[in-house]
Structure 1
Amino acid sequence: MRKFYWVALGLTILLVLFSCTQKPVTGPVSVKVNVNLLSSTTVKAFEPRLTGYFSDIEKIYLTVKDSSNQTILSTETTNKTNPSFSFTLPNAGTYSFYVEAKRSDNTRVFTGQKENVTITTGNNEVVIDGILVNGTLKANVEIDSTVWERYNVDSAVLEFKKDIATEWTQKSLTISSTKTMVEELLYPSMYTVRFKISLIAKDQYTIPENWSNMSNPAQVTIPIDPDRVRNVTFKVVFDSERNEPQVIAVLTQITLPYAPEVSNLTAVWNKISNELILSWNYEEQNATFYIYKELKDNDNNTYYEYVGNTQNKTFTIVNFTQSEYDRINGIAINAVVDDKESGLKVLEKTQITELQVPNAPGNVAGSYEDYSQKLTLTWDAVSGQDVKYKVYKKLATDNDFILVQDNITTTTITIDLPLTEWNNLEKVAVSAYNNDGESQKTELEKSNITLSDFAGGSGTADEPYLIGNARQLQNIGKSEYLNTGKYFKLIADIDLTGVTWTPIGTYSSNLSTSAFVGVFDGNGHKIMNISFNDTTKSNVGLFGYLYNATVTNLIIENANITAKQYVGALSGCAKNSTVEKVGVRNSILRAENSYYAYVGGLIGDVNADNSSTNTMIIRQCFASNVTVSAPNYDNARAGGLLGRFYANAVETGTIENCYATGTVNFMSTTSSNIGGLIGLVSKNTTYGGSVKIANCYAAVAPNMSGNANWKGFIGGSSVPATSDSGNNFFDTDVAGETAGSASASLQTGKPTSEMKQQATFSGWDFTNIWKIDEGNDYPRLKWEF
């Protein structure tokens, strides 16, 4: 058994030795090499420029080396769409494969390799991923002699990033001479390159002492192509106009166009707005256009200053002034599409068209009238042929101006502007335009638009100031209108609900400067809901004081006034004025002074004075359903129409064809100078005076009975009436009194039933002045309906 074991072991060893010394299999083997340019690992690396770079490739080369680094195969293909190579190797073994894609000038677009690949018998497939070759950024910094002599460089930084990146790569530069160059190998893409520099003056007399463009660096956007050099120059020059350094970014002419140039490049210079408007044609899709200014340096070398880029076929260069036009040599555009470049298409400066756009209008002014809700604008005419104008508005809710009207041939316009828009208006603007274009807008802020005091007119008898709302009504009280003898006219009913009312005009020792002196025509309209409550104030009503004034054709409704004294719905006081066809309805008048009250439904105190050429006239006026109160002093001087009529004149005052209905409230049964129509008519004890009182009536009740001083028509112990006074009436049922006044012949008392019969009022003019609904109502004035 042991002998058999050793024999078997020897045979096994011989078999192993024989197998180890056997020669390898020889003979050709098949190989296919695929160049993969779209793998998941390379798409990100190539970015979107892949197609553009491929179109520039002339041939793709394959080199195969064996394990001893000997080249055993070189081949090529022009297939750029799906590059691959099929061939045979003499033997199986270990090989390395190298790929290069080259342009016609022998520069490379991409490379790839697979090393130490084991090739066996049968069919072999090798996949090589292509990688783009880095390009070179060559950045030059040139500092001109003036800057170099005046400043030391404190710091300098070159920064660059891909357009699709967010982070900048920074490279600090050491600048020890007027020219510095730095190179960077960069993976192909579109890059933005910028340069920052900080300078310190060499002596204390140099201004500015410190200068930097760190917050606003010069920059340029350029493509970095595989295996190519891109030159960028940053020039630090001295700007003699600004008296300070300046950095400009320039790049050399592009010499390798791959894509079609733009066509029909035009430039139009709007010298008014300082804009250069570029436009062009281009048939390729998804192109980006890079705009440059062509310049010449002192050595007459051409260089290009980057302006900006766009994907549109138009671009506007702003701040294009005359000095900028003088500086440039032309305008150039480089088209980049599918990462192919066209090269610069240059438009010479002589080919730039200058527009004769009109100047912007000057002296724009505006006024707004809030009754008619119209805005009127005026401006100076702009010279030139075929000039027209446009008007714009901007509300707080608008992002920009909105065109209101164009094709305007005059220098003034009135446009509709509703109150809602006026309240939200920020500004308006006017521009001039012709066939060449539109000027800049001349803007007018709302704060500089005047709010018209009135709805129209000039204040004359023929053209009175027109009043359409409460604000315009209150404007009568302005110093330029109050006592200047101007004419005013209502053009609408006015509701004063919610308005804090200030009476128009007041008392002073010189009424010509403080009272209303003018003509007010109510034009048949109403003023409603006057509200006033301040017991420290006197001379209160729609007007505070009328002096040498005229008020006509007006109805006041629902007035509610409480003040100290001199209170009436129309006016607290009136002197030497004419009040005609003015009525008060459904109103409450209250004077709370602890002395004379002077309160009436129409006017608190009336004064006729021989110091004026005018006298005091009240005609065809009424106070209907009024409540007149003087609760705090027995000598009240309170009446349904007037508190007092003071005849302080040799000439007479007049009150005729007037009436009052309602209630007079007084303090007690001993109160005096209280009457249905007038509380008191008195005269100057020295100069005398009298009042004509004719064709008037009262149907006014007292607030209490038993007062012997209460009179149904006129209160007071005497009435200085003229001899032609009379034919007046009062309602005895309503007054609760048979005595009308201290003068029995001045008026006649009648019961309510007779007061509602036309026959009672013999001699009254029921054709032109009065009308009556017999049996149902008292006589009323025709004009009030």
Structure 2
Amino acid sequence: MKIDVGMVMLGMVVSLLSAGAYAAYSGGSGTVGDPYQIGTVPDWVTLADESGDWDKQFILMNDLDFDGTDVKPIGTSSLPFTGFFNGDGHAMRNVLINVPALNSIGLFGCLGTGGEIRGLGVEAVSVTGDSFVGGLAGCIDGGTVTLCYATGAVVGDWFVGGLVGQNKSGTVTLCYATCSVAGNGDIGGLVGRIDSGTCTFCYAAGAVSGSEYVGGFAGYNYNGTVSSCYWDMGVSGQTTSNGGAGRTTAEMTYPYAAGTYEGWNFATVWAEDVDGNLNGGYPCLRDNVPSLPHPADMNRDFRVVMGEAIGYLTGWQQGGNPMAYAIRAAYLWQNGEQYAYDPGETPPICWVLAP
């Protein structure tokens, strides 16, 4: 039997290349139905290096802690990110980007037409660049950012924002930033400069400082649209903005003053930070709210139909120690019978017929 060694070697090379390309991330093939999976910090570093993948589909599999690792932005003004990045409600923490002489700086340097970032949190970020600098994206050039937030510190010269440096013909909606922002001109708490872009249902609550065109929400706005957006005048140190409505800290934090967050969806999109432990009292995005223990109020009456609910309540409330956020209840009624909470009972049977 004759074996073509050249063809065998070529086949091996092709197989190795295919396997290597697949192994570059934690999984996936970069398509809509099978996005590349970002599950580790090295996955993200690979994405930053592989500009050929900047038009692909990605999903973040879990929270990532960069622990101060200095990373490169994804996308440039000449080669923007035009793919789809689904944060899936996860966050990237402790990211360091320190390139003070370069433009288009952020976790994403530039988001181009058709590009979208959705459901991504950036926490305790430290971003330093020259111009077009943001906690999440340096510039948006026709792209879309939805359900995202940024916390930390952003420093630059011109076009500097807590979330986005410049929004040019793009869309930013259902987002917030609490980053401190410092620069020279076109400096804003959420976005530094808006050029024919749109911002809706967003807020900014970070310190903002600069020399020219400085605003609590947006520094400069040229033909842009800003609606249902707010900034904290006290925290930002800014009483004016080129877009958005200024509010006091008391008005923007729970219990949220009337006329603030008008038209916002607190049923499925935003969550109230009742005790201030999640976001300092400011609204949180529901996809990013963790499950936390919460004390049950044993001084309120609540009517509930017997069945699975009673089992859940006994599991949630063991003895005098609440295990999770539970329906606040002291008494239960069913078919005329009244049940009362009895902490003296052996857990998890804590609900007995009241005398």
TM-score, L = length of structure 1: 0.32
- Structure 2 Cα separation of the partners of residues 578 and 731 of structure 1: 26
Distance apart, 1:755 and its partner CA: 6.9
Q: Secondary structure at the match of 1:558?
A: strand
Distance apart, 1:753 and its partner CA: 7.7
Distance apart, 1:694 and its partner CA: 2.2
Q: Map 1:274-423 onto structure 2 (within 5 A).
A: 363=12
- Structure 1 Cα separation of the partners of residues 266 and 93 of structure 2: 29
1:565 equivalent in alignment to 2:134: no
- Structure 1 Cα separation of the partners of residues 67 and 285 of structure 2: 27
Q: 1:524 to 1:753 in 2, by over 3 A?
A: closer
What's the % identity of the aligned pairs?
Answer: 30
Q: 1:676 to 1:775 in 2, by over 3 A?
A: farther
Q: Aligned residue for 2:84? A: 519
1:629 equivalent in alignment to 2:185: no
Distance apart, 1:771 and its partner CA: 3.0
Q: Secondary structure at the match of 1:476?
A: helix
Q: Map 1:74-85 onto structure 2 (within 5 A).
A: none
Deviations 1:485-541 (A, max 9, x none): 311111122222253311111113xxxxx1111111111111111112232111111
Distance apart, 1:475 and its partner CA: 2.5
1:460 equivalent in alignment to 2:31: yes
2:233, 2:239 within 8 Å by CA — same for their partners in 1? no
User: Relative contact order: is structure 1 or structure 2 higher (C-alpha 8 Å, sep ≥ 6)?
Assistant: 2
1:599, 1:643 within 8 Å by CA — same for their partners in 2? yes
- Structure 1 Cα separation of the partners of residues 230 and 251 of structure 2: 12
Q: Aligned residue for 2:140? A: 574
Task: Please point out which of 161, 167, 170 is paired with 1:600.
Answer: 161
Q: Secondary structure at the match of 2:287?
A: helix
Q: Secondary structure at the match of 1:537?
A: coil
Q: Secondary structure at the match of 1:662?
A: coil
1:764 equivalent in alignment to 2:318: no
Q: 1:602 to 1:465 in 2, by over 3 A?
A: same
Q: Aligned residue for 2:174? A: 620
Q: 1:781 to 1:491 in 2, by over 3 A?
A: closer
Q: Secondary structure at the match of 1:783?
A: helix
2:271, 2:286 within 8 Å by CA — same for their partners in 1? yes
- Structure 2 Cα separation of the partners of residues 535 and 469 of structure 1: 27
1:480 equivalent in alignment to 2:52: yes
- Structure 2 Cα separation of the partners of residues 498 and 779 of structure 1: 27
Q: Secondary structure at the match of 2:74?
A: coil
Q: 1:601 to 1:769 in 2, by over 3 A?
A: same
Q: 1:784 to 1:532 in 2, by over 3 A?
A: same
Deviations 1:659-693 (A, max 9, x none): 11110022xxxx3311111111113xxxxxx41x2
- Structure 2 Cα separation of the partners of residues 367 and 764 of structure 1: 51
- Structure 2 Cα separation of the partners of residues 598 and 753 of structure 1: 26
Deviations 1:168-213 (A, max 9, x none): xxxxxxxxxxxxxxxxxxxxxxxxxxxxxxxxxxxxxxxxxxxxxx
- Structure 2 Cα separation of the partners of residues 754 and 487 of structure 1: 36
Runs of 4+ in 1 over 6 A off after TM superposition: 364-368
2:22, 2:28 within 8 Å by CA — same for their partners in 1? no
Q: Secondary structure at the match of 1:560?
A: strand
- Structure 1 Cα separation of the partners of residues 12 and 266 of structure 2: 60
The code of the aligned residue for 2:163 comes to L
Distance apart, 1:571 and its partner CA: 1.1
2:51, 2:75 within 8 Å by CA — same for their partners in 1? no
Q: 1:754 to 1:598 in 2, by over 3 A?
A: closer
- Structure 2 Cα separation of the partners of residues 775 and 525 of structure 1: 22
Deviations 1:449-474 (A, max 9, x none): 77821111111111111111122213
Q: Map 1:15-164 onto structure 2 (within 5 A).
A: none
Task: Please point out which of 199, 204, 215 is paired with 1:675.
Answer: 215
Q: Map 1:224-235 onto structure 2 (within 5 A).
A: none
Q: Aligned residue for 1:470? A: 41
Q: Aligned residue for 2:298? A: none
Q: Secondary structure at the match of 1:536?
A: coil
1:491 equivalent in alignment to 2:57: no
Q: 1:658 to 1:778 in 2, by over 3 A?
A: same
1:642 equivalent in alignment to 2:214: no
1:550 equivalent in alignment to 2:103: no
1:556, 1:570 within 8 Å by CA — same for their partners in 2? yes
1:573, 1:603 within 8 Å by CA — same for their partners in 2? yes
Task: Please point out which of 718, 722, 730 is paired with 2:246.
Answer: 730
The code of the aligned residue for 2:99 comes to D
- Structure 1 Cα separation of the partners of residues 186 and 139 of structure 2: 13
Q: Secondary structure at the match of 2:62?
A: coil
Structure 2 unaligned regions, length at least 5: 1-10, 290-355
| Structure richer in strand, relative to its length | 1
1:697 equivalent in alignment to 2:230: yes
Q: Secondary structure at the match of 1:767?
A: coil
Distance apart, 1:366 and its partner CA: 7.6
1:664, 1:700 within 8 Å by CA — same for their partners in 2? no
- Structure 1 Cα separation of the partners of residues 214 and 273 of structure 2: 29
Q: Secondary structure at the match of 2:221?
A: strand
Q: 1:456 to 1:729 in 2, by over 3 A?
A: same
The alignment of Structure 1 onto Structure 2 pairs a total of residues equal to 272
1:506 equivalent in alignment to 2:76: yes
Q: 1:462 to 1:533 in 2, by over 3 A?
A: same
Deviations 1:680-737 (A, max 9, x none): 1113xxxxxx41x222221154776xxxxx544x23xxx6xxxxxxxx64224x5xxx
> Of the two, which has the highest radius of gyration?
1
Task: Please point out which of 556, 568, 583 is paired with 2:149.
Answer: 583
Q: 1:364 to 1:578 in 2, by over 3 A?
A: closer
1:780 equivalent in alignment to 2:296: no
Distance apart, 1:763 and its partner CA: 3.6
1:662, 1:700 within 8 Å by CA — same for their partners in 2? no
Q: Aligned residue for 1:540? A: 105
